[in-house]
Amino acid sequence: MRVPRYYAALMTYGDAQDPLLRQVLPLGDELVAVAGFSRDPVGDLAARAGSGLLHKYHGRALVITTGACAVHCRYCFRRHYPYGDDHAGRDQWQPLLAELAARPDIEEAILSGGDPLSLSDTRLAALIAGLDAIPHLKRLRLHSRQPVVLPSRLTEELVRLLARSRLTTSLVLHANHPREMTAALGQALGPMRSAGITLLNQAVLLAGVNDQLEIQVQLAEHGYVLGILPYYLHQLDPVAGAAHFKVPDEQARALHRAMRDRLPGYLLPRLVCELPGKTAKLPL
């Protein structure tokens, strides 16, 4: 188990069913083998292109920057990923950048992991400078849960290095519950908004955490107050050890229909799933 003290302080003390605690607390349920739940649920291993690069979708490529995270989410779809064998470590950035430079069809680089904000600002600056130098790249996207569990990670230097990139930049956060949309997070995101960085949120639908209508409505509305627009609501990726978080598909669809009745269109995330070998996320 790994969880920052800031995030732990948001939990209700003594409540074993607290939705924030549930996301990080190891349970014996994780040891139960369930048919259809595997160690590589979305086909990441088949998409590896070397040097920490994953290429699944047209026009964009994902960079496994590190295997490190500030929090160990128990439902993580990469909980079994072989990070030791495949990530864009400091000595691998040149092969990675060379691979991207040789692919003029790729216009967007997506920094993921692990969590790219586990890297220092200095290391991120070097990587982003290398991406900036590739002429056909147009967009940069960072997927990170770190600001949600540790808002202080959003340093002034991080904002500066993202703002000075010539690439159009987005930060995709990962918040699953409205109690994660705190005033501290909003304050930390303020300079990002001022720098013109697009802020999006993607959540995972989790039984016992956010599978209720009011929770999803509040998640969207609280995020919007902080300048964050909903992006995706992911059906759980069937990773081994996370079956106890699964919400049945029909229940997920009914929840999304109810959300559509309650929320304006710009606050309604797309309900999607990811299937190995497909060329895009699929509507559920």
Model pLDDT, residue 48: 79
Count of CB atoms situated within 10 Å of the CB of 177: 22
Largest CA distance in the chain: 54
Name the H helices within the chain.
Answer: 5-8, 19-24, 93-101, 121-132, 146-149, 156-163, 183-194, 213-225, 249-262
Domain count, the chain: 1
Q: Burial of 205 by CB count in 10 Å (0-12 exposed, 13-18 middle, 19+ buried)? A: buried
**Look-up: residue for tokens 């470590």?**
89
User: Using the 8-state DSSP alphabet, how is residue 123 labeled?
Assistant: H
Helices 183-194 and 156-163 sit at what angle, rounded to 10 degrees?
30
One-letter amino acid identity for 119? Answer: L
Domain membership of residue 21 as a residue range:
5-283
Q: Report mean pLDDT in 10-residue bins for the chain, 284 residues.
A: 97 96 97 94 79 88 94 93 71 85 96 96 95 98 98 97 97 98 98 97 98 98 98 96 98 98 98 90 92
Model pLDDT, residue 91: 58
164: CB partners within 8 A, 6+ apart:
none
Model pLDDT, residue 124: 96
DSSP E strands, the chain: 53-54, 60-64, 108-112, 139-144, 168-173, 198-204, 229-234, 270-273, 282-283
0.85 surpassed by pTM: yes
Q: Which two tokens stand for residue 10?
A: 């948001």
Q: Which two tokens stand for residue 28?
A: 């014996």
215: CB partners within 8 A, 6+ apart:
19, 177, 178, 209
One-letter amino acid identity for 247? Answer: V
Is the distance from CB of 230 to CB of 260 less than 8 angstroms?
A: no
Domain containing residue 64: CATH number: 3.20.20.70
**Neighbour-count burial for 259-274, b at 16+ CB within 10 Å, e otherwise:** beeebeeebbbebbbb
Model pLDDT, residue 88: 66
